[in-house]
C-alpha cells in the first residue's frame, strides 16, 4: 500500500512539474514562433508597400486597388532610369545653366544637327538619357516571385487584406491612402490558443490592429508599418 501511495504521489509531482513547465514555456515558445513568422510577413508587407509606391509614381495616380492587379504591375512595369554623364561646373551654374536647360539644348541639337550652341556652352560629354528597365528585376530582384506578393506566409493560402482610399486635404488636393493587413488569426491559428487569445485581447484593449499591417486608410501615416 505504501508503495502504491508513493507511486501516486510521484505521478502527481510529475504532473505538477509538467504543468509548471508548460505554463512557463508556452508563452516563450509562442512568442519565439510569432517573431520568426513575422520576419517573413513584415518582409512581404514591405514588398507590397514598395510595389504600391512605384505604382503610384509610374502611373501618376492613386494606389492599386487590388493585389492581383498589383502583381501584374510588378511583373510588367518598366522603371525609368536616368543615365547621367558629366556634371555642370560651378561657372555654368552661376551663368544660369541648369540640367533641364542643358538637356533641352542637347535635344534641340540632336534634332537639328546643329551643335554650335552645345559646344559654346561647354556641354560636350554631358548627357541625361532615360532608359527603361524591369521594375521587378531592379526593385525586387531577378529571382523574386511576384505571385508570392499576394499570400501571407504561414497563412495556408490566405491572401493579404488590402484597401485603398482617396481623401482630400483642406486645399482640395487628393490624398491617396492604402493599407495592407495580415491578421494574427491567419498566421498564428495553429499555435497555443490561450496565448493567441491573450494576444488578441491585449491588442483590443489597447485599440491596436490585431495583426501586422502597413499603411492606414483612416489616418495618413506615410505608409508606415505598425511594427515600426
Last residue of some domain: 87, 102, 136? 136
Number of domains in the chain: 2
* 154, 211: one domain: yes
> In this structure, is the dihedral angle defined by the CA atoms of residues 209, 213, 215 and 221, taken in order, positive or negative?
positive
Tens of pLDDT, residue by residue over 96-111, are: 889 888 888 888 988 9
Res 21: pLDDT: 45
For residue 123, is pLDDT > 60?
yes
Helix, strand and coil in the chain, % to nearest 5: 55, 20, 30
Alpha-carbon dihedral 117, 120, 125, 131, rounded to 10 degrees: -30
* 72, 84: one domain: no
For residue 124, is pLDDT > 50?
yes
Q: In the numeric block, which cell numbers belong to residue 199?
A: 494576444
Last residue of some domain: 121, 136, 151? 136
Decide if 23 is inside a domain. no
Last residue of some domain: 92, 109, 136? 136
Contacts of 130 (CB under 8 A, 6+ apart): 80, 81, 82, 83
* 166, 129: one domain: no
For residue 19, is pLDDT > 50?
no
* 84, 174: one domain: no
Q: Are 215 and 180 in contact (CB under 8 A)?
A: yes
* 102, 186: one domain: no
Q: What is the pTM of this model?
A: 0.79
Domain region containing 122:
79-136
Contacts of 196 (CB under 8 A, 6+ apart): 30, 184, 185, 188, 189
In whole angstroms, how large is the CA radius of gyration of the chain?
Answer: 29
Amino acid at each position: 500500500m505504501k508503495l502504491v501511495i508513493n507511486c501516486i504521489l510521484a505521478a502527481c509531482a510529475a504532473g505538477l512539474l509538467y504543468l509548471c513547465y508548460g505554463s512557463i514555456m508556452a508563452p516563450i515558445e509562442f512568442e519565439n514562433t510569432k517573431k520568426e513568422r513575422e520576419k517573413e510577413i513584415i518582409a512581404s508587407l514591405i514588398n507590397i508597400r514598395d510595389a504600391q509606391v512605384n505604382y503610384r509614381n509610374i502611373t501618376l495616380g492613386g494606389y492599386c486597388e487590388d493585389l492581383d492587379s498589383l502583381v501584374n504591375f510588378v511583373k510588367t512595369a518598366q522603371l525609368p532610369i536616368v543615365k547621367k554623364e558629366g556634371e555642370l561646373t560651378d561657372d555654368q551654374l552661376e551663368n544660369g545653366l541648369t540640367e533641364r536647360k542643358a538637356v533641352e539644348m542637347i535635344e534641340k541639337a540632336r534634332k537639328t544637327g546643329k551643335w554650335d550652341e552645345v559646344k559654346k556652352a561647354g556641354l560636350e560629354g554631358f548627357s541625361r538619357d532615360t532608359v527603361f528597365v524591369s521594375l521587378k528585376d531592379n526593385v525586387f530582384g531577378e529571382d523574386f516571385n511576384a505571385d508570392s506578393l499576394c499570400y501571407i506566409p504561414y497563412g495556408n493560402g490566405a491572401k493579404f487584406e488590402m484597401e485603398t482610399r482617396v481623401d482630400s486635404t483642406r486645399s482640395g488636393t487628393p490624398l491617396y491612402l492604402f493599407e495592407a493587413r495580415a491578421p494574427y488569426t491567419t498566421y498564428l491559428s495553429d499555435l497555443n490558443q490561450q496565448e493567441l487569445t491573450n494576444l488578441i485581447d491585449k491588442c483590443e484593449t489597447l485599440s491596436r490592429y490585431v495583426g501586422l499591417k502597413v499603411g492606414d486608410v483612416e489616418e495618413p501615416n506615410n505608409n508606415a508599418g505598425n511594427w515600426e
